[in-house]
Amino acid sequence: MPIPKSISRLTEELMRLPGIGPKTAARLTFHLLRSPEGEVQALGEAILELRRSTRFCSRCFNITDANEDPCQICLDEARDAGQVCVVEAPLDVLALERTRSYHGMYHVLHGAISPVEGIGPEDLRIRELIDRVRAGSIREVIFATNPSMEGEATLMYLSKQLEGMGVKMTRLARGLPIGGDLEYADENTLARAIEGRSEL
C-alpha cells in the first residue's frame, strides 16, 4: 500500500529526534493524524515558538529567553561568581539546579570531545571557557561532564588547557547511587566509590 508523502515526510523528520526509531516515529505520525486539528496546530506553533523565543546566553551558553542575555543565572548576584560548573548540555544545568545544592555559575560546552563522531575541541564552547578563566574572576572550575569515555576525554583536555592558570579544578564525586546494592554495582563504580570515600 502506497503511503502518502506527508506521512512519510513527518515519520522521517520524527526519526531525527533522539531516541525515536522508525516504529515510534510511525506511531507518533498516526497519532497526530487522528488528533484534533487544534492540537496538531498547537504542537506546530510550540515548536516554531521554541526556535523564535530562545537563544544561548552569551556568557554561559545555557538556554535563555530571546530577549534575556545574559541569562537569569548569570545575572543572579546571590550566586557565587567565582565557581563555574562545566557541563555538556543545558539539560545538565536543569538536573543540577533541581538539587538546590549548587549556587555557582555554569558553562555549557554543548557536547563532548568524540573523535568517532568527528567532534573536536573546536566544535565545543571550550575557547569561551578558557577566556572566562583568563579574565581572572573564577577561582574554581567544577567538571561535571558525563562519566563516559567522551566525558572523561573532555575533562582531561580541559584540565590540561586550564593548567597553570591559578584556578582550582575539581570534579563531581563518582560512586554508588542512593538506594543501590553493592552486589549489583559494576567494578568501575565500586572502584570510584572507594577512591572517592569521605571521612565520617
Helix (H/G/I), strand (E/B), else coil: 80: strand
Domains of the chain, residue spans = 78-171
How high is the pLDDT of residue 73? 97
DSSP notation for 103-164:
-EEEEE-SS--BGGGTB-GGGTTHHHHHHHHHTS---EEEE---SSHHHHHHHHHHHHHHTT
Rounded Cα gap, residues 131 and 127, in angstroms: 6
**Phi–psi pair at 175, nearest 5 degrees:** 165, -145
Q: What is the pTM of this model?
A: 0.84
Q: What is the pLDDT of residues 58-82, one digit of tens each?
A: 999 999 999 999 999 999 999 999 9
Find the range with the poorest average confidence among 27-31, 127-131, 193-197. Answer: 193-197
Q: Which three cell numbers stand for residue 29?
A: 505520525
Q: Are 82 and 139 in contact (CB under 8 A)?
A: yes
CATH number for region 78-171 = 3.40.1360.10
